Amino acid sequence: MNDQTAKQASPKVLGGLTPYLGIDGATKAAEFYKQAFGAEEVFAIPPDDKGRTMHIHLYVNGSSLMLGDFYPEHGHAAKPVQACTMQLHLNNDNIDEWWQRAIEAGCEVTTPLQVMFWGDRWGALRDPFGVEWAMNAPTPTK
């Protein structure tokens, strides 16, 4: 395995709860999240000789999102999510711009963006890595 020692200081963690995704192809996912969700990469451990990275830190919509590849030989194999639904939720007043950018980047609509019974506009998407994303925004008042 190549040296995967951090070459920079860790950036500040934003938000009160930080999702950490195990993804097969974390570097590709980070690049996709830059395109689809305007993510900013603030830290990354260099990939090993198999192209896997232990850690990438992104800023998305004012919060941190962290991700890394699976390392089954070190006890970090891919496992299906159990006993919960895994969905990342973006709240943004400019939901139409965020929604369209995600679709143009390659997200699949799983629930169309619409006014829901609670009064907000809400919709759900699945990215090419199988991660579910939801977007929510208040309905504009007249």
CATH number at residue 34: 3.10.180.10
Tell me the pTM.
0.85
Q: How far apart are CA 59 and CA 41, in angstroms?
A: 7
Q: What is the mean pLDDT of each run of 10 residues along the chain (142 residues)?
A: 58 87 95 97 95 96 95 87 73 90 97 94 93 90 65
Q: Which of 27, 137, 49 is nearest to 92 (CA)?
A: 137
Range of the domain at 94: 80-141
- pLDDT at residue 1, rounded to an integer: 43
Closest by CA to 40, choosing from 13, 60, 67, is: 60
Task: Note whether 132 and 91 are same-domain residues.
Answer: yes
Last residue of a domain, one of 44, 72, 100: 72
Nearest Cα neighbor of 103 from 129, 119, 126, 80 is: 126
Looking at residue 83, what is its pLDDT? 65
The pLDDT, as a whole number, for residue 79 is 83
Same domain, 55 and 97: no
Instruction: Give the distance, in angstroms, between the CA of residue 36 and the centroid of all CA atoms in the same chain.
Output: 9
In a domain, 119, yes or no: yes
pLDDT reported for residue 122: 94
